Chain A
Amino acid sequence: MSVDDGRAATWEGNPVRSYHEQPVLKKPIWTWEIPTYFFTGGLGGASAGLAQLAELQGNGVLARRAWTTAAAAAAVSPTLLISDLGRPKRFLNMLRMFKVSSPMSVGSWILVAAGTCNATVTLNAWTGALPRLRQIAAPAGALLGLPMSTYTAALVANTAVPAWHEARRELPFVFASGAALSAGAAALITTPPAYAAPARRLALGAVVCEMVSSMMMEHRLGEHARPYKEGLAGKLGWARRLSMVAGAAMLHRRGESSHLAAAGAGSMLLAGALAKRWQVFRAGVQSATDPGNVIGPQRAAVERGEGHGAVRR
C-alpha cells in the first residue's frame, strides 16, 4: 500500500506539502494563438501610434507603411483569438457586455474599435477613399493602440497564476516595450532607410527598455521568477536575448546604409519580441502546474501571519 505523506513539491528549496504532487491550479487552456496574439496585438497597437506621429512629423513614407502594418496586425489578431475559442462560432458573445473586471472584455472592444480605425486609415492611405472619416480614425486608432499594446499584460496578470499575477506591476511595461520594439522592427523591414530614422531609434530604445523592464520584473519576482528561467520558458528567454542583441548590433552597424541589413535586423528583433511573449506565456503555464509554486508562497504567507484567513482552527 502506498503511503503518501504529501511532501515532495518544493518552494525556495524546501519541501511543500501537497496532494500527491498534483497541481492546485488548472493549466491555462490557451493554445499557440494566444501568445502569438500578444505579439500581433502589440505590433498593431504601437504601429498605429508610430504611424500617426510620423504623419505629424511629415514623414508620409513611414506613416503609410506603419498604418499598413497596424491594419494587417489588427486584422490577424481577431482571427487568432477566434480560432483559440472552444466555440469559435460564438465569438460575438464577447460583445454581449462590457466588464471592467475582465481585461478580455475590455480588450475585445478595444480590438474591434482599433481594427476599424486602422483599416479605414490604410484604405485611405492607398486609395484616397473616406477622407473625412480618416481624419477621426487616425488619431483614434493611434490612441487605441496604446491600450491595445498593454492590456494583454493586464489580462494575464488578472489570473490566479503566480508567475503572471505576481508580475502585475512590471508586465505591462514589458509588453509596452515589446510592442514598441515590434513596431520599430516591422518599420525597418517595410521602410527605405532614408525614411526609417524614427524606426531605428524606436527599435534600439525599445530593446534597452525591454531588457531593463524584464530584468526588473525578474528581480522583484524573486522565487516567482523561477518559471521564467526554467524549461521551455528559460530557453525562449535565451532565444529572445540572442536575437535581440544580434538584431540591435546589426541595426546599429549597417541599418542606416543598407535596407537589406535593416530588414535582417528587423526580422531578428521581431523574432525576439515574439519569443518574449512566448516566454511569458510558458512561464505562466509552468507556474500554474507546479504545486510548490502555488502552495509554497501561500503557506509562507499564512505562517507569517499575512494570510487572508481561509483557515481557522
Chain B
Amino acid sequence: MTLDVRQWSATYGADSKPRMGFFTDTSICIGCKACEVACKEWNQIPTSIQGFTGNSYDNTIALGANTWRHVAFVEQRLPAGVEEGASPVEASARAQAINWGVQTYQEGDGLRWLMASDVCKHCTEAACLEVCPTGALFRTEFGTVVVQEDVCNGCGYCVAACPFGVLDQREDDGRVWKCTLCYDRLKDGLEPACAKACPTDSIQFGELAELRSRAERRLDQLQSAGQRRAQLYLADDENGVGGAGAFFLLLDDPEVYGLPPDPVDTTRDLGSIWGATAAAGAALALGLAAAVFGGRG
C-alpha cells in the first residue's frame, strides 16, 4: 500500500507554497550552539541541559521534546588535512582548503572535530504523520510536518514510528513535541530562528529545490579538495522516506553523527502488515471453529 503523499500541495489550492527546508552543511559548523539557543528562545522550550555528558561538548545528547535542534560533537583521530589516498591534484587543493572552510581540524595532534546540527527531517513520507491517530500531526502549506499542540493527546505512536528518533513526550505535559520549522515565522515571511542565528550559514533555509542544487555544488567542491568521505544525506527523493525537507552534508558516515544510514518509512510495508493481520484473523476464526465443532460427537 503506498500513500500518495506528494500531492499535499494540491490540498492547499491557491494557498500552497513552494516546499521550504533546511540544508545543514556540517563542514562549516563551529559548534557554537546558537541554533539550539535561538530555537529554545523563539519556541519557548523548557530547559534540557543534561550537565556534563563526557560526549565531547554535547550537553543535550539527542533531539527530543525539549531539544528541537541538537548539535553533535565527534572527536576522531585522523590524519589532519588531506585524507590518505588523495591524488597530488587533491593534495595541492589542500592549500585552498582553509579558504573553503573545510579545515575543521585541530592541526598538529591529528584530532578531527566533527560538529553537526541535527533537526527533524520533515520527511516526504513522514511515518509520524501517517501513524498519528488524531490528526494532530499535519502537513503545512510549506510541505513541513507540524504537531498541533491543541489536538495531540499523547498516544505516543509517532515516537516509535519516526525512523530518526525525533519526537518525544514532554514530561509533566504529556504531549509530544518537535521542530515546527518555525511555522509561525514562515507564515510571516521570516526564516526559522536557528537559520537566522547561525553565524556561519551552516544552517541554510530556503526553497528545497534551490537548496538541493546548492548542496550538489558544495559536495563537488569538498570532494575536489580531497574530502573523500564527504557525503550528502537525504538530499534527493531517492531514499526510504521519499525525500526530506531537512537534509545534510556530512564529512563521515551518518551513524557517526547519530543518524540512521538507511532510514525507511515503516508505512511502506503497510500492505504486508495488514495482509498478515487479516490472515491471522482468519486463522483465528478457523481455530475457534475447529475447537467448538471439532470434538468427538
Q: Which residues of A contact B (CB under 8 A)?
A: 1-6, 16-20, 22-26, 28-30, 46, 49-50, 53-54, 56-57, 59, 84-88, 90-91, 93-94, 96-97, 99-105, 108, 146-147, 149-151, 153-161, 164-165, 168-173, 175-177, 179-180, 183-184, 197-199, 201-202, 205-206, 209, 284, 288, 291, 294-295, 298-299, 301-302, 307-313
Known: A147-B277, A299-B262. A86 touches B153 (CB 8 A): yes
Contacts A93-B136, A310-B263 given; 6 further ones with Cβ under 8 A?
A: A85-B153, A102-B132, A103-B277, A169-B272, A302-B262, A309-B236
Kindly specify which of B13-21, B37-45, B71-79 makes contact with the partner chain.
B71-79
Q: Is B58's CB under 8 angstroms from A20's CB?
A: yes
| Smallest beta-carbon distance B294→chain A, Å | 7
Q: Does B56 contact A (CB under 8 A)?
A: yes
Is the C-beta of B233 less than 8 angstroms from some C-beta in chain A?
A: yes
Contact among B240, B273, B288 for A308, CB-based, below 8 A: B240
Q: What are 6 A-B contacts defined by CB distance under 8 Å?
A: A20-B258, A84-B155, A90-B151, A149-B281, A201-B294, A294-B260
Given A54-B292, A313-B231, also A86-B174 (CB < 8 A): yes
**Residue B188 is within 8 A (CB to CB) of chain A in the complex:** no
Whether a CB of chain A sits under 8 angstroms from the CB of B235 is yes
Contacts of B155 in A (CB 8 A): 84-86, 94, 104
Q: Which residues of A contact B273 (CB under 8 A)?
A: 103, 154, 157-158, 168
Inside 8 A of B229's CB, which chain A residues have their CB? 313
Q: For residue A18, which residues in chain B have a CB less than 8 angstroms away from its CB?
A: 255-256, 258
Give me the 3 closest cross-chain CB pairs, A-B, nearest first.
A86-B154, A86-B174, A19-B258
B291 touches A198 (CB 8 A): yes
B98 at interface (Cβ–Cβ under 8 A)?
Answer: no
Residues of chain A within 8 A (CB-CB) of B262 are 298-299, 301-302, 307-308, 310-311
In the complex, the answer to whether A86 meets B176 with C-beta atoms within 8 Å is yes
Q: What 0/1 readout, one digit per residue, does chain B (168-205) give for beta carbons within 8 Å of chain A?
A: 11000111100000000000000000000000000000
B295 contacts across to A, CB distance below 8 A: 197-198, 201
Smallest CB gap from A4: residue in B: B75
From residue 233 to 286 of chain B, which have CB atoms closer than 8 A to chain A? 233-236, 238-241, 253-264, 266-267, 269-270, 272-274, 276-285
Please, which residue of chain B has its CB at the minimum distance from the CB of A307?
B262
Within 8 Å of chain A (Cβ to Cβ): is B161? Answer: yes
Q: Select which of B53, B75, B234, B292 is within 8 A of A198 by beta carbon.
A: B292
Binding site for A on B (CB under 8 A): 1, 3, 53-56, 58, 61-62, 64, 72, 74-77, 111, 127, 130-136, 151-157, 159-169, 173-176, 219, 223, 228-236, 238-241, 253-264, 266-267, 269-270, 272-274, 276-285, 287-295
In the complex with contacts A30-B156, A57-B293, A313-B230, A24-B288 CB distance below 8 A: no
CA gap between A104 and B235 in the complex, in Å: 32
Given contacts A17-B253, A86-B174, contact A311 B260 (CB under 8 A): no
Bound-state Cα–Cα, A190 to B135, Å = 41
Q: Please pick, from A49, A94, A165, A205, the residue contacting B133 in the complex, using a CB distance under 8 A.
A: A94
Is B151 in contact with A96, judged by CB distance below 8 angstroms?
yes
Contacts of A149 in B (CB 8 A): 281, 284
**Residue pair A53, B176 in contact (C-beta under 8 Å):** no
Q: Are A159 and B176 in contact (CB under 8 A)?
A: no
CB distance from B22 to the nearest CB of A (A): 16
Residue on B nearest A143 in the bound complex, by CB: B285
Are A104 and B133 interface neighbours, CB within 8 A?
A: yes
Closest chain-B Cβ to A67's Cβ sits at a distance in Å of 14
Chain B residues with Cβ under 8 A from A24's Cβ? 164-165, 255, 258-260
Query: How close is A291's CB to chain B, nearest CB, in angstroms?
Result: 8
B176, B261, B276, B292: the one within 8 Å of A57 (CB): B292
* Contact A17-B238, Cβ < 8 Å, known A85-B153, A87-B175, A168-B269: no
Complex: A57 Cα to B294 Cα, angstroms: 11
Of chain B, the residue at the smallest CB distance from A92 is: B153
Does A93 lie within 8 Å of B134, measured CB to CB? yes
B269 with A165: CB separation less than 8 A: yes
Q: How far is the CA of A26 from the CA of B64 in the complex (A)?
A: 8
A312 touches B235 (CB 8 A): yes
Q: Which residue of A lies closest to B284 (CB)?
A: A176
Known: A3-B75, A172-B276. A102 touches B261 (CB 8 A): no
- Does B272 contact A168, Cβ atoms closer than 8 Å? yes
- B260 contacts A180, C-beta separation under 8 Å: no
Residues of B within 8 A of A88 (CB): 153
The answer to whether A201 touches B258 (Cβ under 8 A) is no
Residues of B near A288 (CB, < 8 A) are 160
Asked whether, in the complex, the Cβ of B277 is within 8 Å of the Cβ of A153, the reply is: yes
Please name all residues of chain B whose beta carbon is closer than 8 Å to the beta carbon of A307 when the two chains form the complex. Answer: 261-262
B133 engages A102 (CB within 8 Å)? yes
- Report the minimum CB–CB distance from B291 to chain A (whole Å): 4
Most buried by A among B136, B232, B266: B266
Given the interface pairs A86-B176, A102-B133, A205-B290, the reply to whether A173 lies near B255 with Cβ below 8 Å is: no
Asked whether A94 and B134 contact (CB < 8 A) given A2-B54, A158-B270, A312-B232, the answer is: yes
Bound Cα distance from A88 to B154, whole angstroms? 8
Are the C-beta atoms of B280 and A205 separated by less than 8 Å? no
Interchain CB contact under 8 A, B291 and A201: yes
A24-B165, A176-B283, A312-B236 known; A104+B276 contact, CB < 8 A: no
- Complex alpha-carbon distance, A294 and B262, angstroms: 10
- Among A29, A96, A206, chain B packs the most CB atoms within 10 A around the CB of A29
Interface centre among B152, B161, B169 (most CB of A within 10 A): B161
